[in-house]
Amino acid sequence: MNVFAEVEARVLAALRGLEEKGTLPAGLDFANVAVEQPRDPAHGDLACNAAMVLAKAAKMKPRDIAEALAGVLRLDPDVVSAEVAGPGFLNLRMRDAFWYDVVGAILAKGPLYGSSDVGRAARTNVEYVSANPTGPMHVGHCRGAVFGDALAHLLSFAGYDVTREYYINDAGGQVDVLARSAFLRYREALGEDIGEIPSGLYPGDYLKPVGAALAETYGRDLLQKPEEDWLPLVRSFAIDAMMAMIKEDLAALNISHDVFFSERSLTTGGKNQIAAAIAALDAKGLIFKGRLEKPKGHDDEEWEDREQTLFRSTAFGDDNDRALMKSDGSYTYFAADIAYHYDKLQRGFRHLINVFGADHIGYIPRMKAAVAALSDGKADLDIKVCQLVKLFKGGEPFKMSKRAGTFVTLRDVVDEVGRDPVRFMMLYRKNDAPLDFDFAKVTEQSKDNPVFYVQYAHARAASVLRNAREAFPDLEVVHEGTATADLSLLTDGGELDLIKKAAFFPTLIEGAAQAHEPHRLAFYLYDLASAFHGHWTRGNDLPQLRVIQPNDRAITAARCTLVASLKQVLSSGLTVLGVGAPEAMR
């Protein structure tokens, strides 16, 4: 049950009725008519903008339309008042029973309350993390990983058919470096003194176990072979080991993917998907030989003007055409990425979402150009950029550097502050704004820490239901979570406000999903928790407002039903964000 959609349907019916009666001219476009939450609750429960949207086309004064609409809606038994205000807003106040039905709906739908079918099962691909398989995940990967995971959750909750995907960059020069680094550790494992790790190779200790495993698998066999023979073996061995490690790191954050797509697989097994994708673009006349200008403001001594194979991305709004071949004749990273996205399109995805780090921001226009060209504009690609995370420890900036040995891995962060705080803090900010992450504050258990604030609201709700169960062991609501109580006993304004906030949950989910903005959910949960804490504390001064009334079974039942519904919304919201909803916090 979505009260906003419900009331909007009634408004549209009323408008059509006015059309038939001739009060409004026929043929008006109602597409922009919306029922929303008024910013100021004093204005009413729901507000409708119909009069202002339609005034011009109808050639009528906004207030006249609003009055006519109000006249019809006042006949609705659920509408207590319909007032025209300001430039032509129609403010509606609904009777209490209308809101009690929301509580019933929440408990009836349980974890599914707030889920939606706005996504219409559209095939949607969310690509996130895609860290190079050359080492453990570091803290810089963390934000995009959490963001992508929460967005995928959110989209499937809103009815999209979501595939979570990881693109493994296992084809570039960096995996050859990985192989050579692992080979060195292999020699070390066989007893050789390898001394300092030469610069240009990966020095991390995390390759030691890989070297040992290589020694166990191959014995001394590889030592005799030339590099061209051992490199492919060691490379694939090391990549598998790195991916296993990365998957473990991600699991520590409760992140998983449905598909791991190998870049190398684009050109192995007798196929060449890169050539195929380029051919597809060529057929559209978008591939040509040309020269690129040397970028300005870039003092590159080694710049060499040469003719190369280019993709005409400027035809789709990019500021430069883009190279597809390196000087040695191999494909650029971009060429492979085109083929990868071509593959996604051929697998039937119509909504593509990529989560990028801030350093890839300049890559966006060319990727969008490629998808637009390959799909003939039938698919959309949204690229969500996650800005940098600045680390602090007790207010002091905390730099990470591999050389100084303060290389902060994602695992370190999760181990130190815990999964829930990491996830929530990463989401409690718009993705395209930089984020300050202070280890001290994130672990602090106080109201200054939004994670604990929201979780505490959930634990509080759980706690009061436990206590109610002791006071009234046979009370159905606290056992079954069903709305059998007489909710008309919920007459306090604070109680009704809580219901109205909970009623906004489905609308919020749809908006956040369509905008690809999971942070909206984090802020909503904070707001709902705040309202709950506020109402709760009123019980300190006014004992008659407390949930459990030992001498009044009926009112305890009604309030427990409300608390159970709030607990459900908090729990559902936290679950979508991938954050735990604890039953108790002590």
Partner RNA sequence: GGCCCCGUAGCUCAGUGGAUAGAGCAUCAGAUUCCUAAUCUGAGGGCCGCAGGUUCAAAUCCUGCCGGGGUCGCCA
State which of positions 276-295 bind RNA (CB under 7 A): 292, 295
**128 touching RNA, by CB under 7 A:** no
Q: Provide, rounded to whole angstroms, the least separation between the CB of residue 190 and RNA.
A: 30
Question: Angle formed by the axes of helices 3-21 and 505-515, to 10°?
Answer: 90
**Span 342-381, contacts to RNA by CB under 7 A:** 358-365
Question: How big is the CA angle at 74 (ends 92 and 25), to the nearest 5 degrees?
Answer: 95
Cα-Cα-Cα-Cα torsion 207, 254, 442, 536, nearest 10 degrees, comes to -170
Residue closer to RNA, measured from CB, 39 or 403: 39
Q: Provide, rounded to whole angstroms, the least separation between the CB of residue 274 and RNA.
A: 13
Helices (H), ranges, 284-401? 333-346, 364-375
Question: How big is the CA angle at 569 (ends 515 and 463), to the nearest 5 degrees?
Answer: 145
For residues 387 and 435, the answer to whether their CB atoms sit within 8 Å is: yes
Q: Provide, rounded to whole angstroms, the least separation between the CB of residue 457 and RNA.
A: 8
Contacts 24+ apart (CB under 8 A), 399-403: 400/138, 400/139, 402/203, 402/204
The pattern of x and - marking residues 28 through 57 that bind RNA according to CB under 7 A reads --------xxxxx-xxx--x-x--xx-xx-
Rule CB under 7 A: choose which of 23, 262, 467, 482 binds RNA: 467
**Span 148-187, contacts to RNA by CB under 7 A:** 169, 171-174
**462 touching RNA, by CB under 7 A:** yes
The pattern of x and - marking residues 220 through 259 that bind RNA according to CB under 7 A reads ----------------------------------------
How far, CA to CA in Å, does 20 sit from each of 11, 56, 162?
14, 19, 43
Which one of the spans 14-22, 100-108, 480-488, 527-535 is the region binding RNA (CB under 7 A)? 527-535
The pattern of x and - marking residues 255 through 274 that bind RNA according to CB under 7 A reads --------x-----------
Q: Give the chain's length.
A: 586
Cα–Cα distance, 382 to 19 (Å, whole number): 40
Q: Provide, rounded to whole angstroms, the least separation between the CB of residue 585 and RNA.
A: 4
Which one of the spans 15-23, 269-277, 472-480, 545-553 is the region binding RNA (CB under 7 A)? 545-553
**97 touching RNA, by CB under 7 A:** no
Nearest to 312 by CA among 329, 344, 289, 294: 289
Rule CB under 7 A: choose which of 233, 412, 523, 553 binds RNA: 523
Q: Provide, rounded to whole angstroms, the least separation between the CB of residue 485 and RNA.
A: 15
Q: Provide, rounded to whole angstroms, the least separation between the CB of residue 383 and RNA.
A: 9
**C-alpha distance across the termini of the chain, in Å:** 35
Cα–Cα distance, 249 to 232 (Å, whole number): 26
**Span 65-94, contacts to RNA by CB under 7 A:** 85-89, 91
Residue closer to RNA, measured from CB, 131 or 213: 131
Residue closer to RNA, measured from CB, 106 or 555: 555
- Can you give the C-alpha Rg of the chain in angstroms? 29
Q: Provide, rounded to whole angstroms, the least separation between the CB of residue 265 and RNA.
A: 14
Which residue(s) pair with 125 in the sheet? 163, 352
**550 touching RNA, by CB under 7 A:** no
Six-digit token pair at 377?
A: 């504009």
**447 touching RNA, by CB under 7 A:** yes
Cα–Cα distance, 434 to 334 (Å, whole number): 27
DSSP annotation of 13 reads H
